[in-house]
Amino acid sequence: MVTTNQSKTASPLKTPLDWAKAACDSLMAAYKPAELPPDGRWHYHQGVFLESMRQLKAHIGGEDYEKYIKAYVDYNIDENGNFLWNRKELDAIQAGLLLFELDEQTDDSRYRTAAGKLRNMFPTLNRTSDGGFWHKDGYPYQMWLDGLYMGGVFAMNYSEKYDEPELLEMVLEQERLMRKHTRDQQTGLYHHAWDESRKQPWADKETGKSPEFWGRAIGWYGITFNEILDFLPESHASRVEVSSALRDLAVSLVGYQDEKTGLWYQVVDKPDHPGNWIETSCSALFVYTIARAIRGGHLDESYLPYAVKGYRGLIERMQFDENGRFIMPEICIGTGVGDYQHYINRPKTENDLHGVGAFVLASMEMQELLPAL
């Protein structure tokens, strides 16, 4: 049994899936589906958490999970498949991952209609001169690491479900462009963003890159590498390249893992800089990235101890309230691009959906590699 000295009640949780279930159940008890924070809208905040719940349901079952996810979707989508979402940003697409299973399991055509609206956003997106999607219309000429996950994973699922192979090729091209513009050769890490215009205060005047390696953005990228490889046929010409890029990122990440806690810092490469702090959501995403890369055969099993150490470090951080409900602390709230002070001054919060969703995903991956703790 694993317990944490920060908890108010002892934990009976014994496996990673136990922890994933506790996380989902606690948030379900705290919020009605339409009230999931920050504002109950159709967005990736809710999508990240609910997609992790959907995947957990596939592992352990649970009619309550199915009803909860459907209630969120049905709150946002009317009888004609209309819904309110921001048509100017990639972030609004991610929650579309919830639509495919509902379309498959019901005779309700509005889920397919809604998915089609999200799919049709891609040709309308503004692009850089070499074809990279702007992260949002409000951020002209900027590519952000987060965007590849927010739009790319939906696109690949749509490609497979509805036989549009060109969408997979689109995601591969966007990944190549993102890697070209944001990867740092020296560290192997990825800058949070790139500004082709070089007009943003944070943009390097020569390269356009943002100055820092922000943890959670790199974590979304690691997830997407693994997702791409799951969709790529073994014979695909890009498979070796993407597998190599994933492996290089994972190897770089273990070099910045905190030796004492097994976790990672908000600004990944500067653990000793004043004000930097351990951040749990990026740590969960990095555990996931490493563990899934091992399971997929893209990273050898000598890296398993790093994933185990990271996951155990996360467990040591977790708390429980007086009612025995799960609490995930030290999660950075949503964050734009900036300098070092910008990132370290971002508020920390508990049970933010970014973090809980990431923790559930990491727990499911660790269940595959480490059934008992």
The H or E element spanning position 50 is helix 44-60
φ/ψ of residue 348, rounded to 5: -100, 150
Q: Residues, the chain, total?
A: 373
Q: Give the number of C-alpha atoms closer than 13 A to the C-alpha of residue 363, restricted to the C-beta side.
A: 29
Distance (Å, whole) CA 300 – CA 296: 9
Catalytic residue among 18, 146, 269, 352: 146
3-class SS of residue 146: helix
Distance (Å, whole) CA 312 – CA 318: 10
Angstrom CA distances, 266 to 57, 220, 241, 285, 332, stand at 30, 14, 28, 12, 8
Pairing of strands 326-327, 331-332: unpaired
The H or E element spanning position 225 is helix 215-231
The torsion region of residue 362 among left (phi > 0), alpha (psi -120 to 50) and beta comes to: alpha
Burial of 35 (C-beta count, 10 Å sphere; 0-12/13-18/19+) = exposed
Question: Does residue 146 carry a catalytic annotation?
Answer: yes
Q: Which two tokens stand for residue 39?
A: 């504002």
Rg (CA), the chain: 20
Distance (Å, whole) CA 25 – CA 148: 29
* Longest CA pairwise span in the chain (Å): 56
Positions annotated as catalytic residues are 146
